[in-house]
Amino acid sequence: MIGFDALLAGYRRFRENRYETERSRWRQLAEGQSPQAIIIACCDSRADPATIFDSDPGEIFVVRNVANLVPPFEGGGGRHGVSAALEFGVTQLGIGQIVVMGHERCGGIHAALTGQFHNAPAGEGGFVAHWMSQIDESAARIAAEHGTDEGAARILEEVAIRQSLANLRTFPFVAEREAAGAMTLLGCHFSIREGQLYVLDEAENIFRPA
């Protein structure tokens, strides 16, 4: 339990420092939330949106999954965690900005490029391969043209961000708001080693340093 002991030590620092100095803010947050953006991010421990955007509790509504993917809109069947979060954030909280944030050296992207989970033992579930199958076509094309090294991974990381933005626009409650000028969609990529955020210019289809 060494890991959990470390977490408890962090919790105690939070209680003694941040909570005590911001007690009124936490009581206000207990009454409700009004975040300014939905961020679809990867569950990778090195790419925490709250850290990268230096945000306070209540400011961002974060949805994290393997490789920061957004599946296309579809009704019925399955348990749609990302879709449910989007529905709640947009229709109930009225959030008007959605950011898809990828990052370098993403394990999910590497798995898609190399197919390392395609023959996972039945007892492991095959969850990674099934989830990453959303970008299998792009992964196969990029692997054939560029291999599976870090450069190829960066290409697929950016492709996945673009695809997730396109998939966001298949959700009626997103598309309608964007068409009305009440919703903004953004894509970005975080370089872990540089600490640099790159933002997608959709008009020119290029990622530029923020």
Which CATH number covers residue 140? 3.40.1050.10
> 115 and 61 in one domain?
yes
> 103 and 76 in one domain?
yes
Could you tell me the pLDDT band of residue 1, with boundaries at 50, 70 and 90?
Answer: low
Q: How far apart are CA 82 and CA 100, in angstroms?
A: 12
> 82 and 183 in one domain?
yes
* pTM value surpassing 0.85: yes
Strand, coil or helix: what is 11? helix
| 127-185 pLDDT per residue, tens | 999 999 999 999 999 999 999 999 999 999 999 999 999 999 999 999 999 999 999 99
Give residues with Cβ within 8 angstroms of 72, minimum separation 6.
167, 170
> 123 and 23 in one domain?
no
> 47 and 1 in one domain?
no
> 24 and 41 in one domain?
no
Kindly state the DSSP code that residue 68 receives in the 8-state scheme. G
> 144 and 49 in one domain?
yes
Domain count, the chain: 2
Whole-angstrom Cα Rg for the chain: 19
Q: How far apart are CA 145 and CA 13, in angstroms?
A: 50
> 51 and 22 in one domain?
no
> 9 and 78 in one domain?
no
| 42-91 pLDDT per residue, tens | 999 999 999 999 999 999 999 999 999 999 999 887 889 999 999 999 99
Mean pLDDT, the chain, whole residue set: 95
Paired residues of 186 in beta bridges: 99
> 28 and 69 in one domain?
no
Question: Is 121 a residue whose pLDDT tops 90?
Answer: no
> 56 and 12 in one domain?
no
> 105 and 75 in one domain?
yes
Question: Is 12 a residue whose pLDDT tops 80?
Answer: yes
- Provide the domain limits for residue 5: 1-32
